[in-house]
Chains A and B, each alone.
Chain A
Amino acid sequence: MASLKELKNRIASVKATQKITKAMQMVAAAKLRRAQEAAIAARPYARRLGLVVANLAGAMAGRDDAPRLLAGTGRDDVHLLVVCTAERGLCGGFNSSIVRLAREHIASLLAAGKTVKILTVGKKGADALKREHGERIIDRIELRGVKSVGFDIAVDLGKRIVELYDAGEFDVCTLFYSEFKSVIQQIPTAKQLLPVKVDAPAAASETDYEFEPDEAEILETLLPRYISVTLFSALLENAAGEMGAKMSAMDNATRNAGEMIDRLSITYNRTRQAKITTELVEIISGAEAL
């Protein structure tokens, strides 16, 4: 049985931990609100751009002069996986679920005899993948010190990927991130980034558009932007998801710490009582003996 002093120390340390997790939860909640607003504010642009690209791509389908970003390289040998994770841990299974999805994907690609290259965004993904697939990581981008995800980051990243693509470094690019469903639910998602895959245009898009300059040229400028926007929304969803996951993880931790304190307090009180009783019995029996 632990001594009273030990128990007391233990309770104090758990209390200190609880204070920290509580504070982290509150910070995450505040950041979550901001991240969520940013993710929602970015949606109209992404949706509209998606519609326009789908329209144009529909018009271009099957034509020889379709841009390479849309038509692909005609091969399917080298895959680039862009794995977006958070910069920090302590957010439950958030990072590991993205990494797990990426790992499964890598395994199936390797089994099919493809070459795999990895580009990580965020420190945690690189850390988790480097042991098993270290030699496949061609670059790691860290967002440390980035306060809020700006569009320029996504533009730079998009440029990098398009340059690699133009240089023939890979044939297919897949993006891994976590879709923000709600505060307690984030779904790890794989999305094909290159060649650009668009949903079939809606029936309403049958209107005869006039294009200026022509379709091919518009697509030429639009596709890189579409890639940047896709990356941007993935990064925003990730930021919101990370904060959501952190919030619920820290909420759990705070609750667990609370339970532990209750349990320890009961043990402490029982031990104290037992000690007093023993002392009393000793005194009484001592007095009787006289």
Chain B
Amino acid sequence: MATFKFELVSPERLILSVDADQVDLPGSEGDFGVLAGHAPFLTTLKTGIVTVKAGGLSSRIYVRGGFADVNAAGLSVLAEKAVPESEFDPAVAASELAIAETVLAEARTEEAKDQAIAALDEVKTAVAALA
């Protein structure tokens, strides 16, 4: 199976750089999968789980506040926060939930509140999936 270059970077460091067979991402307009030879594509991501399949192994990574850039060179995901499943413990989950809740508490307009509620739900779903 053809592979492509997948890179996951956070502002602090390069988290993952592998040749992947398939990567599934939570796009803001719906989940999507990327295989080798995908058309150039740029989208924002919602909070959720990125699944990477490489060499028969599959790993999951929690991602918040990111976007994905698919081009001829491969796929790169830039996330504000990215935590591999193995490092995702209850403390991380609690802090992620707390962040989403503060955003909701600080939301002034109805629109911002709706967004914050949706964001909190996304975090809850992701946490439940990884628990």
A residues in contact (CB < 8 Å) with B? 38, 41-42, 44-46, 48-49, 52, 55-56, 150-151, 154-155, 207-213, 217-218, 221-222, 225, 228-229, 232
Residues from chain A with a CB closer than 8 A to the CB of B67 are: 52, 218, 221-222
Q: A42-B12, A45-B11, A218-B43 are in contact. Are A212 and B27 (CB under 8 A)?
A: yes
Stretch of B51-59, B69-77, B83-91, B123-131 on the interface side = B69-77
- Whether A211 and B42, one on each chain, are in contact in the complex, defined by CB atoms closer than 8 angstroms, is yes
- Whether A52 and B29, one on each chain, are in contact in the complex, defined by CB atoms closer than 8 angstroms, is no
- Whether A45 and B10, one on each chain, are in contact in the complex, defined by CB atoms closer than 8 angstroms, is yes
Residues from chain A with a CB closer than 8 A to the CB of B28 are: 212-213
| Min CB gap B50→A, angstroms | 16
Docked CA distance A106–B40 (Å): 44
Q: How many residues of B contact A (CB 8 A)?
A: 24
- Whether A229 and B11, one on each chain, are in contact in the complex, defined by CB atoms closer than 8 angstroms, is yes
Chain A interface mostly helix, strand, loop or mixed?
helix
Residues from chain A with a CB closer than 8 A to the CB of B78 are: 45, 48-49, 52
Q: A41-B12, A45-B10, A45-B11 are in contact. Are A210 and B29 (CB under 8 A)?
A: no
Residues from chain B with a CB closer than 8 A to the CB of A217 are: 44
Residues from chain A with a CB closer than 8 A to the CB of B11 are: 42, 45-46, 151, 154, 228-229, 232
Chain B interface mostly helix, strand, loop or mixed?
strand
Residues from chain A with a CB closer than 8 A to the CB of B42 are: 52, 55-56, 209-212, 218
Q: A42-B11, A218-B42, A218-B44 are in contact. Are A212 and B29 (CB under 8 A)?
A: yes
Residues from chain B with a CB closer than 8 A to the CB of A213 are: 28-29, 43-44
Residues from chain B with a CB closer than 8 A to the CB of A229 are: 11
Residues from chain B with a CB closer than 8 A to the CB of A44 are: 7, 9, 14
New A-B contacts (17) at CB < 8 Å, excluding given A209-B71, A213-B43: A41-B13, A41-B14, A42-B11, A44-B9, A45-B11, A45-B14, A48-B9, A209-B40, A210-B40, A211-B43, A212-B41, A212-B42, A212-B43, A213-B28, A218-B42, A218-B67, A228-B11
User: Chain A: which residue is nearest B7 at the CB level?
Assistant: A44
Docked CA distance A109–B43 (Å): 40
- Whether B44 and A221, one on each chain, are in contact in the complex, defined by CB atoms closer than 8 angstroms, is yes
- Whether B9 and A45, one on each chain, are in contact in the complex, defined by CB atoms closer than 8 angstroms, is yes
Residues from chain A with a CB closer than 8 A to the CB of B12 are: 38, 41-42, 45, 150-151
| Min CB gap A98→B, angstroms | 23
Residues from chain A with a CB closer than 8 A to the CB of B14 are: 41, 44-45
18 contacts between A and B (CB under 8 A): A41-B12, A44-B7, A44-B9, A45-B14, A48-B9, A49-B78, A52-B67, A56-B42, A150-B12, A151-B12, A151-B80, A154-B11, A211-B42, A212-B29, A218-B67, A222-B67, A225-B65, A229-B11
Docked CA distance A42–B43 (Å): 22
